Copies of this chain bind each other. A is one copy, B any other.
């Protein structure tokens, strides 16, 4: 038996591979939760759901204050889990934030959050990654199209796309300030990417992805088949999306910055193994190794 027959989701190869139809469900049965039946059916088909008022206004303010506090903590700024933009010295992301902030630790265990994740994944879950993101106005850079699962599989050793992310907006998402774009239904297709993973790739990939990027031809096919939708909504709304949904974001030249709390839940039945296409797994603050 060779690696290529064991690994259903081969990627980062020298030569191009054809897109792969996913076998695993998007919504797994077996665990009840707060998501109604209709929303669940739509999530299964489309790979994402938007919950408009996940947090109330006073909660939004509390988390905004917490993000401000975290981003101005000089000790935390020097922590390896904090990503600082080299030019402006502004904080862009803080990883493993549920182990840094008590308030966010509470949030990721809040039934509104974790029970939705359990319900979709049909099992107990654990946190594969958590972070807060600060995206500035005027100079927000955006992020090119990608599937998170492609990275987590290649670099973290996540066997299957049985993980779900929740992005909780702490600022208003307009159609024009660089919010997430998703391709509905794209989670059903795995797009292998060309090019081997360089060592220490995660350091570069956090700011600018060059490996793990689908070809323009594959993105075009997927966009024509699935269309593109944007995650818009007021502060406090949340997007839950499958680990294999093709997504990206444009730049933000408006004065309206964006910040959010981002948590990835993985099924305990999908624990990470050795990376499928990288020499070393990424640090545990980026991808938990239980």
Distance in Å from the Cβ of A191 to the closest Cβ of chain B?
A: 13
- Please tell me if the beta carbons of A176 and B230 are within 8 angstroms of each other in the complex: yes
A233-262 vs B: 1/0 string, CB under 8 Å? 000000000000000111111111000000
In the bound complex, CA of A174 to CA of B250 (Å): 13
Q: Is the CB of B176 within 8 A of A228?
A: yes
Which residue of chain B has its CB nearest to the CB of A175?
B175
Mark out the residues of chain A between 175 and 196 whose CB falls within 8 Å of any chain B CB in the assembled complex.
175-176, 178, 181
Q: Is A145 close to B, CB under 8 A?
A: yes
A63 CB-CB contact with B under 8 Å: no
Chain B residues with CB under 8 Å of A252's CB are 250
Interface status of A39 (Cβ within 8 A of chain B): no
CB distance from A49 to the nearest CB of B (A): 19
Docked-complex contact A253 and B176, CB < 8 angstroms: no
Asked whether A142 is an interface residue with its Cβ less than 8 Å from the other chain, the reply is yes
Cβ–Cβ contact B230 & A175, under 8 A: yes
Is the CB of A223 closer than 8 A to any CB of chain B? yes
Q: Is the CB of A248 within 8 A of B256?
A: no
The answer on a CB contact under 8 Å between B255 and A176 is no
Cβ of A142 and Cβ of B253 under 8 Å apart? Answer: yes
A285 at interface by CB-CB < 8 Å: no
Cβ contacts under 8 Å, A220 to chain B: 137, 255
* Minimum CB–CB distance for A207 against chain B, Å: 16
Closest Cβ neighbor of A181 among chain B residues: B176
Q: Shortest Cβ distance from A113 into chain B, in angstroms?
A: 27
Is A138 in the interface zone, CB < 8 Å from B? yes
Task: Give every chain B residue within 8 A of A144 (Cβ-Cβ).
Answer: 253
Q: How far is the CA of A230 from the CA of B175 in the complex (A)?
A: 9
A-B contact pairs, 7 of them (CB 8 A): A137-B220, A142-B250, A142-B251, A144-B253, A178-B250, A181-B254, A250-B253
Closest 9 CB pairs of A and B: A175-B175, A251-B251, A220-B255, A250-B251, A250-B250, A223-B255, A248-B253, A176-B181, A138-B216
